[in-house]
Structure 1
Amino acid sequence: MLALILAPLLAACSRGVAVPPSTSSSTPPESTSTAAQSTTPAPASPELLRVAVPFDQPGLGMREDDEYSGIDVAVARYVAQQLGAQRLELLQAIPDQRETLLATGQADLVIATYSMTPERSEQVLFAGPYLVTGQDLLVPRGSKVRSVEHLRGQSVCGAAGSASVKRLVDDHPGLHIVERPTVGECVELLREREVGAVTSDTTILAGYLEADKDERSTLRLAGVDIGRESYGVGMSPDDEELCYRVSEALRTMVSSGEWRKAVRANLPGPEVIGTQSYVDPEVTSCTAPPTSSTTSSTSSASSTSESG
């Protein structure tokens, strides 16, 4: 009953737009994955693959009119291509709704700066990681904040449901934390000086600085090493076959050099976000094919996608 109630509400703020799955005009959508070229029969390719990505995070996931950009979008396109999807539909992923999008069947995959945490792994199956980053603070250029302890007496804004907020709450009790649905809304509060800092992943915060580089930015990264995040591709816990295929797609993206191209094209340089985001990630989850008793999940995902 809860899923039936939530589904219409989420659909209203997660409007999808169909886009070609290929990463370039020279790559045909019907390209098959490495698994499909083996001697074993390939699982059925989904006609429609629905992927939730950010719509408001520069460098990671941005939607401007009908144009999409960012490393999460690049990964979504590449995975869709490798799975042989005929169509890719991008939905908006809001941090505290990502699990619900999967649980209600509105998204087949979530590729949205989705940190692979033990708590989330109880509800979500992850393939990855496909990117590693740190956690930092975005502060006014003239701010004296150089550590988390300097935040005492100030308000810190973070995205509701994010791993960044949870880490501050768990590791630094007593801070005054303001939560908003998206990091972008927090950045606006910071620009209006309604909060003293914004916390999120370094790649996310640096993206907002890059978006302002044509103007004189009034913000800066504090350079505080708060923690480490590993981004994964989230899906339903029952989709073990799909998880294996997505992991294979990610490994192919890295080994082919396409991952490095996507990182360089979308993210600020290592001098801004650190070298860890430029190191080829080692995909460690779903590395072995599931047993025959669990392979029915892919066909289930395909039928779900076709019903749209």
Structure 2
Amino acid sequence: MRNKKILLSIILMLILILSGCSNTKSLSKQLVLKNAYESKTITWGVKADTKLFGLTDVKDGKQKGFDIDMAKLITKKILGKTGKAKFVTVTSQSRIPLLKNGNIDAIIATMSNTPERAKIVDFSNSYFDAGQSLLVPENSTIKSTKDLSGKTVLGVVGSNSVQNIKIAAPKAKVLQLQDYAQTMTALKSKQGDALTTDNGILYGMAVENKGYKVVGGTFTKEPYSIAVNKGQKDFLKETNKAIKEIEKSGEYNKLIKKWFGDVPGFNYKELYR
């Protein structure tokens, strides 16, 4: 009898502990904006392997790119001049779990706003109007998705572009790798005939790797948006307000010109707002 009482006591204690943890986690999720105001910091999930958007500079170890600069501007708009943007490196497959677990406050990592993802996270207004395209060697005969039948197309695990290419070129073979660095290496070693993702990312890869070009125009619309956890309406509202202010002030156009103005074949004027 005594052992049963002890066992019941242990079970009750575990229930209370787990309940407390759940309530704390739920409470923390509700207070993201408040916590940001108190700490004067917003923690952003960003890429570290995507040239022009989020790439680690080997000279100083800092992440740099369009997404990074946008995150800094949005942070200042929301928290004021003393506001600090903290960056955590994410990948296409880790970014949503890190957000849901509370490791980051928001994702700004070349993330397309899709209906499937919108069931899990909330998205801000678009901050970059991207579209999926193809990267191929300069001597390739591939000009569009129509030329991919029987070809091997490289993509990143967890990226929406993998699903899109299966629809656009159903007769193509798809090889998924962990990140863009691996897909580029695979393209160079001829493990694939083309690499697919959003055109903004591909232009960065073309700049970084001579002998490759972006072809096919854009066969999808892939607007990049900032992702936040569900239930963060106040934080989302302030984020959208900040994006609008950045566009209205002309700061947005300066960033577009800074990061894309010198990219061969990239018409940055189309992105002016």
Q: TM-score, normalised by structure 1?
A: 0.71
Hey, what does 2:237 align to over in structure 1?
Answer: 244
Deviation of residue 228 (structure 1)?
1.4
Hey, what does 1:196 align to over in structure 2?
Answer: 193
Hey, what does 1:48 align to over in structure 2?
Answer: 41
Number of residue pairs matched by the alignment: 234
Check 1:183–1:118 CA distance in 2 against 1; reply closer, same or farther (3 A cut): same
Cα deviation 1:152-177 (Å, max 9, x = unaligned):
22211111111211111234323210
Hey, what does 2:84 align to over in structure 1?
Answer: 87
Write the mapping of 1:7-86 to structure 2, written as runs, cut at 5 A.
44=37, 46-64=39-57, 65-84=60-79, 86=83
Structure 2, unpaired ranges of 5+ = 1-35
Cα distance between partner residues in 2 of 1:146 and 1:69: 31
* Structure with bigger gyration radius: 2
- Structure (1/2) with the larger helix percentage: 2
Hey, what does 1:139 align to over in structure 2?
Answer: 136
The secondary structure found in structure 2 opposite 1:266 is: helix
Cα RMSD, aligned residues only: 1.9
Cα distance between partner residues in 1 of 2:267 and 2:102: 36
Write the mapping of 1:157-236 to structure 2, written as runs, cut at 5 A.
157-212=154-209, 217-236=210-229
Check 1:185–1:276 CA distance in 2 against 1; reply closer, same or farther (3 A cut): farther
Write the mapping of 1:221-300 to structure 2, written as runs, cut at 5 A.
221-268=214-261, 272-274=265-267, 278-280=271-273
Q: Which of 135, 153, 158 is the equivalent residue of 1:156?
A: 153
Structure 1, unpaired ranges of 5+ = 1-42, 281-308
Deviates more, 1:85-94 or 1:132-141: 85-94
Runs of 4+ in 1 over 6 A off after TM superposition: none
Check 1:236–1:277 CA distance in 2 against 1; reply closer, same or farther (3 A cut): farther
Deviates more, 1:46-55 or 1:73-82: 46-55
Does the 8 Å CA contact 1:183/1:200 hold for their aligned counterparts?
no
Aligned residue type for 1:185: Q
Cα deviation 1:242-283 (Å, max 9, x = unaligned):
000000010011001111111111125586234575232xxx
Does the 8 Å CA contact 1:133/1:276 hold for their aligned counterparts?
no
Check 1:72–1:187 CA distance in 2 against 1; reply closer, same or farther (3 A cut): same
Deviation of residue 113 (structure 1)?
0.6
